[in-house]
Structure 1
Amino acid sequence: MIRNFIQFSIEKPLLNHILLLFIFMLSIFAYINIPKEIFPPTQMDKISIAGGYAGTSADILDKMVVQTIEEDLQNINELESIKTSIKNGSFTIKADIKTGSNNISVLNDVKDVVSSVVKDLPSDMSEPLAKIITHDFPLTLIALSGDVDKRVLLQRANELKSELAKFKDLTNIGVRGDSDEELDIRLNNEKIKAYGLQPSLVVNAIKNISSIFPVGTIKEKSHHLYISTYNGDKYYYRYW
């Protein structure tokens, strides 16, 4: 069999050359058309749930949706180490998937949990998004530095982001280093006492004017009412 094949190849050299050329052209075509990535994204054994409601405080979000989702997630045996991050207007819940579990099946269970909670949420609140966390390796990192204020650097970074977004081949362009503005107040106890004041009373006075929470009423068919207040009591929460 092999002897006959070798003999045929020797007697038909032109056919061999044509076959070799065909394989060579086919390899070039495949190389051009097969998708290629320098740093392909990798899925991790973690699930995230992200959501938010504009104008709500962290306390209200926690009572309105986060606590319920956390309690229901604890009933999924394939999940462990649930961690939550809440700030005014948005929240993120991350959970590790146990080794050996079917990630897609676990994700579907998590989506069912989210769907069961949505019916009790305000109609204008977007449904929380559940997905498997994907780790993307950035193609390039650009660092901006200078002897200027941080806000100026962030402004320039956002301008650069807008320019880079014009390139259709670039995706997931983000700016790191941004954060909510904070006011750091340092108290001098000696000077406070010199005015005949108690430091604890000064601290409480600052606390009473340091928080602004949105005020609003939400009426739903499921009979929910969430009201935020300005200073004083941080919120009034009602569910019946």
Structure 2
Amino acid sequence: MEKAINWFSKNHVAANFLMLLVIVVGVQTWFKLKKEIFPETSVDAISIQIPYPNATPEEVEKGVVIPVEEAVQDIDGIDRLRSTAAQNVGVVIVEVMVGYDVRQVMDDVKTRIDAVQNLAENTEEPVLEELLLKAQVMSIAVSAETDERTLRNLAERVRTDLLSYKGGEVEVTQAQLAGVREFEISIEVSEDTLRQYGLTFDQVALAVRKSSLDLPGGSVRTEGGEVLIRTEARRYSA
């Protein structure tokens, strides 16, 4: 090191040329670097979502959450498990230890889940994804003197336009609606009609529940690939 310093101290042209080379390379590298105002960051965690249609939180816990936890808890690299059993869906968050490859752990988790035999019968295909922190860039308020359905349709159009926007290097990758209510269907039956047919409100509710159902039927392997079978019988009118 001392010899190099002494040599450069006696050869000023070479020293200046080296400094210029470092500056040029640095400037070129700067323009090639990926720059984001709000970059995505990984939290070293994996989300496992398993839909279980028409199941109560208690049924989701017994039929989804507990079997998944038991299947993945001893995988190398897993630090902690956090689970939520809600109506129609179970969610398990897998926190990965520092120093482990999240994608490798995710592959191991998927292999274990695919081998689970005691999941509830009507559960759908598990959805695994790496958790990423995404920062909100802006909020857009849509206001109009109209009914709620029309206002929601306007907001959906704005969302679609944003997602299709491409301006040079600028691209919108995610846009979500907030503050909107889910659509509901109201079935009204008069007491006179119930008496006429000898029915109760509970019987009507049970009939609607049985006829308004989407059920996965498994899959069939063919020469062209795997075909998913699903019974779609959910009703949107009565």
- TM above 0.5, yes or no, is yes
Partner of 1:154: 152
Q: Matched residues in 2 for 1:139 and 1:85: separation?
A: 30
Partner of 1:42: 41
Paired with 2:155 and 2:30, the residues of 1 have a C-alpha distance of 37
Letter in 2 for 1:174: Q
Do 1:46 and 1:132's aligned partners in 2 also have CA atoms closer than 8 Å?
A: yes
Q: CA deviation at 1:130?
A: 1.2
Deviations 1:172-227 (A, max 9, x none): 23323344323689xxxxxx9xxxxxxxx976467446645237794878xxxx98
The equivalent position to 2:70 in structure 1, one of 56, 71, 74, is: 74
1:143 aligns with 2:141: yes
Provide the rounded CA distance (Å) in 1 between the counterparts of 2:149 and 2:106: 39
- Compute the RMSD of aligned alpha carbons: 4.7
1:176 correspondence with 2:178: yes
Count residues in correspondence. Answer: 202
TM-fit CA distance, 1:22:
2.8
8 A contact 2:71–2:116 mirrored in 1: no
Name the TM-score, length of structure 1 as normaliser: 0.60
| 2:213 is equivalent to residue 214 of structure 1 | yes
Instruction: Please name the residue that 2:8 is paired with.
Output: 5
Which stretches in structure 2 are left out of the alignment for 5+ residues? 192-198, 221-229
What is the deviation of 1:32?
A: 0.8
Question: Which protein is richer in strand relative to its size?
Answer: 2
1:145-174 residue CA offsets vs partner (Å, 9 max, x unmatched): 344333223211211122122223221233
- Return the alpha-carbon distance in structure 1 between the equivalents of residues 16 and 231 of structure 2: 81
1:59 alignment partner, SS class: coil
Verify the 8 A CA contact 1:69 1:117 in the aligned structure 2.
no
Mark the CA change 1:215 to 1:142 in structure 2 (over 3 Å): closer, same or farther. closer
1:3–1:44 Cα change, 3 Å: closer
Long gaps (5+) in structure 1? 186-191, 193-200, 232-240
Query: For the Cα contact (< 8 Å) 2:60–2:86, is it kept in 1?
Result: no
**Please, what TM-score do these two structures have when normalized by structure 2?**
0.60
Code of the residue aligned with 1:67 in structure 2: it is G
**d(CA) in 2 for partners of 1:101, 1:28:** 32
Aligned position for 1:189: none
**Does the Cα contact within 8 Å between 1:214 and 1:229 map onto a contact in 2?**
yes
The 8 Å contact of residues 163 and 174 in structure 2, kept in 1 or not, is answered as no
Q: For 1:39, what is the secondary structure of its paired residue?
A: coil
How far residue 29 of structure 1 moved from its aligned partner, in angstroms, is 0.9
Residue 31 in structure 1 maps to residue 30 in structure 2: yes
Compared CA separation, residues 161 and 26, structure 1 to 2 (3 A): same
CA contact (8 A) 2:50 2:64 kept: no
CA contact under 8 A between 1:49 and 1:130: conserved in structure 2? yes
Structure 2 distance, partners of 1:178, 1:104, is 35
